[in-house]
Amino acid sequence: MAEGDWDYYRRMRRTPLFDAHRAAGARMVEFAGWEMPLHYGSQIEEHHAVRRSAGVFDISHMLAADIEGGEARAFLRRALANDVARLPPGKALYSCLLAEDGGVLDDLIVYFAGPDRYRAVLNAATAQADLEWLGRRAPAGARIRPRTDLAMLAVQGPRAREQFWAALPEFRSASEDLASFCSMERNESFLARTGYTGEDGFELMLPAGAAPEAWRRLCAAGVRPCGLGARDTLRLEAGMNLYGQDMDASVTPFESGLGWTVALEGGRDFVGRAALERRAAAFQRLGLVLQERAGVLRAHQAVRTARGEGTITSGSFAPTLNASIALARLPAACAPGERVEVAVRDKRLAARLVQPPFVRRGKILV
């Protein structure tokens, strides 16, 4: 987009940290209608900072939505493919939101925040459609409240918690014993030990007006600001899907590596269940590691396997592996360990199939 394209700027939404990003020299890009930092100079160094130390991401473009009331639990058990009844108080659950035909409308995290109170975090690109979808189905006893008043930060990496406490000591005593995938509230803030990088760390939701000071203190404590570029290569190495790229309404959770998030036990009736039970998985999701340094795997490249054709859904250079990796939609008969060929421009390059994740907690697993 050219400078001075005013329609472009008028359309764009900005987070409370926009000025902080600009002051830090961020390269800004459009993402789902938001003007977000792509990197602050080096996306590869930001990636390494998260694997080796700690980084902080502005994820305020994602939308928190509270689902409250006496019927909130029953409503979410009907609306989500995973079962919130599994949750003890404070715990988080990863789930797909499905269409009646079993296609994935969004993936989200839902926290059991308190009695009759849940908090879901929705993808920026799908938030509006999700709210409409939920709003149409919610009974009177389940109110949906979009929390556009909150900003969201993710602090990730092996030193993330320690540096987070150094920057924001007021959270320390209450969050020292916070287990993985658990959350706590402190005044107007909500802290969870979750993330999208494959590393330990926190996600913090706080009033928008308090976000710049929290960001400043984290950076001053040595946490490196990281943009969406590093966030994408980190989540790819961690084997985590990106909605709209690795899955969408045309595929089911079973076709996108998310079968483990579908809770079928107990006969619970949830939207999409009947279709999932009818519909055989047409393909599966697997990972690829490029075997030669002769290009970079990218979305939409064709994969030729001994069992038929497939397609890459996400691919990039993986800084931790110093090789190119990808997530792909492949014939159901393919298995990890097999060799495949990927069409990269005018060449066919050799790749090896693996079961993601590629990296977890700083360690290469493939």
Per CB under 8 A, residues contacting another protein are: 3, 27, 38-39, 42-44, 229, 233, 293-296, 298, 316-317, 324, 345
Nearer to another protein, 145 or 298 (CB): 298
**362 conformational bin, left if phi > 0, alpha if psi -120 to 50, beta if neither:** left
Q: Nearest approach, Cβ of 320 to another protein (angstroms)?
A: 13
Nearer to another protein, 132 or 292 (CB): 292
Tokens 């009844």 sit on residue: 85
Q: Nearest approach, Cβ of 350 to another protein (angstroms)?
A: 16
Tokens 């950076």 sit on residue: 219
Q: Nearest approach, Cβ of 46 to another protein (angstroms)?
A: 10
Nearer to another protein, 3 or 265 (CB): 3
Q: Nearest approach, Cβ of 44 to another protein (angstroms)?
A: 5
CA angle 184, 90, 51 (to 5 degrees): 65
Give yes or no for a cis peptide into 331 (omega within 30° of 0).
no
Q: Nearest approach, Cβ of 319 to another protein (angstroms)?
A: 8
Nearer to another protein, 133 or 317 (CB): 317
Q: Nearest approach, Cβ of 263 to another protein (angstroms)?
A: 36
Q: Nearest approach, Cβ of 229 to another protein (angstroms)?
A: 6
Q: Nearest approach, Cβ of 29 to another protein (angstroms)?
A: 9
Nearer to another protein, 39 or 285 (CB): 39
Q: Nearest approach, Cβ of 222 to another protein (angstroms)?
A: 23
Nearer to another protein, 11 or 293 (CB): 293
Nearer to another protein, 187 or 322 (CB): 322
Q: Nearest approach, Cβ of 345 to another protein (angstroms)?
A: 7
Nearer to another protein, 234 or 258 (CB): 234
* Other beta carbons within 10 Å of 71: 17
User: Helix/strand/coil (H, E, C) string of the chain?
Assistant: CCCCCHHHHHHCECCCCHHHHHHCCCEEEEECCEEEEEECCCHHHHHHHHHHCCEEEECCCCEEEEEECCCHHHHHHHHECCCHHHCCCCEEEEEEEECCCCCEEEEEEEEEEECCEEEEEECCCCHHHHHHHHHHHCCCCCEEEECCCEEEEEEECCCHHHHHHHHCHHHHHHHCCCCCCEEEEECCEEEECCCCCCCCEEEEEEEHHHHHHHHHHHHHCCCEEECHHHHHHHHHHCCCCCECCCECCCCCHHHCCCHHHCCCHHHCCCCCHHHHHHCCCCEEEEEEEECCCCCCCCCCCEEEECCEEEEEEEEEEECCCCEEEEEEEEECCCCCCCEEEEEECCEEEEEEEECCCCEECCEECC
Nearer to another protein, 42 or 250 (CB): 42
Query: Do 1 and 8 meet the contact criterion of CB atoms below 8 Å apart?
Result: yes
Nearer to another protein, 232 or 255 (CB): 232
CA distance 130 to 151: 19
